[in-house]
Amino acid sequence: MRILVTGGTGVLGRPAVPRLVEAGHEVRAISRSPRSGRAVDWRVADLASGRGVREALEGVEAVVHLATLAHRGRRTASVDVEGTRLLLDAAHDAGVGHLLFLSIVGVEHAPVGYFGHKLRAEQLVKEGGVDWTILRATPFHQWLDQWLARLPVHPVDRTVPWQPVDARDVSGHLVTLLSQGPSKTVEEYGGPQVIATDELVARWRRARDRRPPALMVRWPGRVAAAQRAGLLNAGPSAPKGRITWAEYLRPAGRAVPAAEEEPDIAGEYGGPDVEPRGRKDRVYGQDEGYQPPTQV
Ligand SMILES: NC(=O)c1ccc[n+]([C@@H]2O[C@H](COP(=O)([O-])OP(=O)(O)OC[C@H]3O[C@@H](n4cnc5c(N)ncnc54)[C@H](OP(=O)(O)O)[C@@H]3O)[C@@H](O)[C@H]2O)c1
């Protein structure tokens, strides 16, 4: 099948594009910058301005829509919402038979900021006149890794659970969904384990041997509240990836210090075992608890 991939240079796109090629598809991909490669037909196109989008869709049977510009306010809307609208119009005119859209598990429980943009884009996909599948995933290992590496301070809310998933597993699932054709349903996909923030952060600190200052805090905002309630994790019957956070951080064959098996973030930080009462919690981050993986 001839497929157009948007966002093929991103965290998910990087493993997804070779998977699609391996599966026997003829892959065309767009980026705002010129690129070349033997196995992929790279085209320059921009979803915010529309430049190159219609040309890139000529002769395409299916679109895998991964492009995003997370956490940039109006610029996010111009790519994630208006860009999706523009892509859908062009895909409809080009006779595309299936648009597979990547979203995030639980966006409807905290439709603010980036999550709000994702929810609006989902709605456009459902109404866009092109047969569709929406795949909602939990946060990627690769994104969490970049996020923790970038933070000068690690804010740790041990009441918040994560179900991180590996972008390579998501790529494999995406290829399967594409082969099944448009389902006109919203599917979920999560990581193999649910782990609390303290364990997640402690594992990263040990694996990367980096220990910026850490604070035990209570994350504010609607996204954190939804995540605390477990609403950003995939449902129990959703398919799951195989690679755990520990395996992602510790590729096979690498020696592991014994202490890595039982991380104790409070002990490591010299922090409290329980959240302190009667003290104003330190405030962290935006309303969203989800930071952009790329700088643009
Ligand atoms: N990261 C996560 O943890 C996570 C979790 C669940 C779901 N998701 C979803 O998965 C999808 C992929 O996320 P990701 O983390 O791989 O994103 P990412 O690493 O931030 O990559 C963003 C991609 O979007 C492209 N892009 C940005 N602006 C564009 C524009 N104006 N026109 C065309 N392309 C543009 C970029 O391409 P160029 O820079 O080459 O132009 C890049 O390939 C998104 O829908 C995201 O919401 C992500």
Instruction: Assign domain 2-138+167-189 one CATH number from 3.50.50.60, 3.40.250.10, 3.40.50.720, 2.40.30.170.
Output: 3.40.50.720
Residue with CA at minimum distance from ligand 1 atom 43: 7
Which residues contact residue 232 at a Cβ distance below 8 angstroms, ignoring those fewer than 6 apart? 104, 105, 106, 109, 138, 163, 223, 226
Letter for the amino acid at 43? Answer: R
Q: Tens digits of per-residue pLDDT, 233-260? A: 999 999 999 999 999 999 766 655 544 4
Percent of the chain residues topping a pLDDT of 90: 82
What residue's CA is closest to ligand 1, atom 47? 103
Q: How many Cβ atoms are within 10 Å of 82's Cβ, its own excluded?
A: 18
Determine which helix (DSSP H) or strand (DSSP E) holds 135, and give its type and residue range.
strand 132-137
- Give me the pLDDT at residue 295, please: 31
The average confidence (pLDDT) of the chain is 88
Other CB atoms within a 10 A radius of the CB of residue 116 amount to 18
DSSP 65-103: E----TT-THHHIIIIIHHHHHHHHHHHHTT--EEEEEE
One-letter amino acid of 194: V
Given this model, what pLDDT does residue 73 score?
Answer: 81
What 3-state DSSP class applies to 44?
Answer: strand
Binding site membership of 102 for ligand 1 (Cβ less than 6 Å): yes
| Mean pLDDT (whole number) for 277-291 | 34
Work out which ligand 1 atom sits closest to the CA atom of 137: 6
Residue 74 binned pLDDT confidence (cut-offs 50, 70, 90): confident
Whole-angstrom Cα distance, residue 245 to residue 140?
9
**According to the model, what pLDDT value does residue 125 have?**
98
pLDDT bracket for residue 296 (50, 70, 90): very low
pLDDT digits (tens, 9 = 90+) for 140-199: 999 999 999 999 999 999 999 999 999 999 999 999 999 999 999 999 999 999 999 999
What is the reported pTM? 0.89
pLDDT tens, 115-153?
999 999 999 999 999 999 999 999 999 999 999 999 999
If you count DSSP H runs as helices and E runs as strands, how many of each does the chain have, helices first?
Answer: 11, 11
Cα distance between residue 91 and residue 111, in whole Å? 26
pLDDT of residue 223: 96
Of 103-107, 261-265, 273-277, least confident by mean pLDDT is: 273-277
Which helix (H) or strand (E) is 6 found in, with range? strand 2-6
Q: Which of 68, 71, 120, 187 to mutate to test the pocket of ligand 1 (most atoms within 8 A of CB)?
A: 68
Segment 25-42 shows an average pLDDT of 97
Q: Is the shortest distance between the CB of 9 and ligand 1 below 6 Å?
A: yes
The Cα-based distances of 131 to 48, 74, 85, 87, 225 in angstroms read 23, 28, 14, 13, 34
Distance 260 CA to ligand 1 centre (A): 32
30 DSSP β-pair partners: 43
Cβ atoms of residues 189 and 234 within 8 Å? yes
**Residue 219 burial (C-beta neighbours within 10 Å; 0-12, 13-18, 19+):** buried
